[in-house]
Amino acid sequence: MTDTTPVTEHDEDAAHLASLGYSYDTTFKREMSFFGNVSLGFTYLSPIAGVYSMFAISLGTAGPPMAWALVIALVGQFLVGLIFGEVVSNYPVAGGVYPWSRRLWGRKYAWMNGWIYVVALVGTIAAVAYGAAPFVGSLFGASLDGVGIVLIALGTLVVATILNFSGTKVLSIAAIVGLIAEMIGAVVIGIYLIFFGRQHEWSIFFDNQGIGNDAPGGYLGAFAAAALIGMFAYYGFEANGDVAEEIKDPSRQVPKAMRMTLYIGGFAANLLAFSLVLAVPDFQAVADGTVTDPIGELLMANFGPIFPIVMLIIVIAFISCITSLQAAASRLIYSMARDGFLPGSAKLTKFNAKRHVPNNALLVAAIVPGLIVILSLFLVQALFALVGFGTVGIYIGFGMVVLAALRARIKGWKPAGKFKLGAWAYPVNILALLWGIVAVINIIWPRPTGGTWVEDYLLIMTTVGVIGIGWIYMLVSKAYLRGDAPAADASGPIKTVV
């Protein structure tokens, strides 16, 4: 007799996960909506955190044309997002870049990508928490010293951790609230500045006002340095895949959420950056350091009576960004621990039976960034090194997945998920890889800091150090041999879920 029992969406998702070697029982619950997933990626991407943090530096380095860097980076990252969408559709497993690398290439490769990405994420969490502190201070009219910044940064980490401990539903709601705050802080403010705060004609975006002409490498060198604002602005869409086990029909929904994250995030970031440039009265004052906080001055001048409300919106956006980053980091840590790849894996896979979140992995994603923030009181350069690695490590992690996907295709991988690139797969994959290589080189390129050569090459040395430590630990501990989860099977038989 034929079984005519209808197959539910939950059964299909569980079957797909089981086909990938994981049971779906007492761990994650699929309680995140599609919009919640988009919001998670968007708040991780955080146009406010990305643009506000880098605006003064980029404008002072290359003048108004620096805004085009956000357009260039968006195109490059969209190519990467398409590759990620195809991969996560095939492997909708918690943890993102680690499980994708494991299936596409193998155990050692996955260990290294997971290690690099974990370090990058905890450094990024610390950076965003540290960057949020001045805005919290402005909200209360406080002038902060080093200790004050550290205390407020730790406070934001505590708030984010509480939200994450509350479960997937609360995480989804927090992400949606963060998205609303981001849209107000980016889109509403951007539109207002264009109509009521504009100081220049649009032609200013093709005139560097003489800024950057004397930089090493001429204006091209200055623009490359300023372009970091774009590279900082568009990662976060991979977080949609980090929680793939917490959304229904992830093979279809997560790739769509990744693209939507970049559509909305790209629009908001570009609108904000271009509107801010148009509203800055004196570019030379920013370039020579006379004006160190052009955004603060703009907001006060244009939103004086409601300045505290604007600051509150920005603070909410920063905390939401920290929460999303922490969620992504905890899922990556849990995913590696589930496969036995990390020290103390048994403890790191512990779940809260009621909230269905990885408690101990969340604690690591809170405590380690907190220690990095505290370290800034004693070793400022160490903080800068880890924070700087946050960005280059994420781009290396992205590039490793894109490279692994290209290699797997050449070896015969036929994507079997619900999102496929078809005939566009090879051109998109190659262009995405080239973009990633250019981005990594630009981020780590040693630029004069005005200090010693150590400061100029600090990011390169940090990157080499992180990779070296991870490689040595992997070889000595044989961590990559632990666990029995499938690996390097992309080009082999793959079960298709329809």
Q: At 68, which CATH number?
A: 1.20.1740.10
Instruction: Please report the pLDDT score of residue 11 as a whole number.
Output: 67
> Is 206 domain-assigned?
yes
Instruction: Please report the pLDDT score of residue 8 as a whole number.
Output: 52
Instruction: Please report the pLDDT score of residue 10 as a whole number.
Output: 56
Give the residue from 363, 439, 428, 345 showing the smallest Cα distance to 398. 439
Q: Which residues sit opposite 247 in a β-bridge?
A: 32
**Domain tally for the chain?**
1
How far apart are the C-alpha atoms of 333 and 94, rounded to whole Å?
10
Owning domain of residue 220? 32-481
CB distance 239 to 96 below 8 Å? yes
> Is 75 domain-assigned?
yes
Instruction: Please report the pLDDT score of residue 496 as a whole number.
Output: 40
Instruction: Please report the pLDDT score of residue 498 as a whole number.
Output: 34
> Is 436 domain-assigned?
yes
Helix, coil or strand: residue 150: helix
Instruction: Please report the pLDDT score of residue 455 as a whole number.
Output: 78
> Is 14 domain-assigned?
no
Give the residue from 238, 245, 194, 5 showing the smallest Cα distance to 101. 238
> Is 15 domain-assigned?
no
Instruction: Please report the pLDDT score of residue 4 as a whole number.
Output: 40
How far apart are the C-alpha atoms of 311 and 323, rounded to whole Å?
18
- Per residue of the chain (498 residues), what is the pLDDT tens digit? 333 434 455 567 777 677 676 665 557 778 888 988 999 888 888 888 888 888 999 999 999 999 999 999 999 999 999 999 999 999 998 888 999 999 999 999 999 999 999 999 999 999 889 888 888 888 887 777 888 899 999 999 999 999 999 988 888 898 889 899 888 888 989 999 999 999 999 999 999 999 989 888 899 999 999 998 998 888 888 889 988 888 989 999 999 999 999 999 999 999 999 999 999 999 999 998 898 889 888 888 888 888 788 888 888 988 998 999 999 999 999 999 988 888 888 899 888 777 788 899 999 999 999 999 998 888 766 667 777 788 899 999 999 999 999 999 999 999 988 999 999 999 999 999 999 999 999 999 888 777 777 778 888 999 999 999 999 999 999 988 887 788 888 866 444 433
How far apart are the C-alpha atoms of 222 and 217, rounded to whole Å?
7
Q: In 235-306, which ranges are continuous DSSP H helix?
A: 239-242, 250-279, 283-287, 294-303
How far apart are the C-alpha atoms of 27 and 136, rounded to whole Å?
36
- What pTM value is reported for the model? 0.90
> Is 10 domain-assigned?
no
How far apart are the C-alpha atoms of 220 and 197, rounded to whole Å?
30
> Is 242 domain-assigned?
yes
> Is 24 domain-assigned?
no
Instruction: Please report the pLDDT score of residue 346 as a whole number.
Output: 87
How far apart are the C-alpha atoms of 408 and 410, rounded to whole Å?
5
Instruction: Please report the pLDDT score of residue 144 as a whole number.
Output: 79
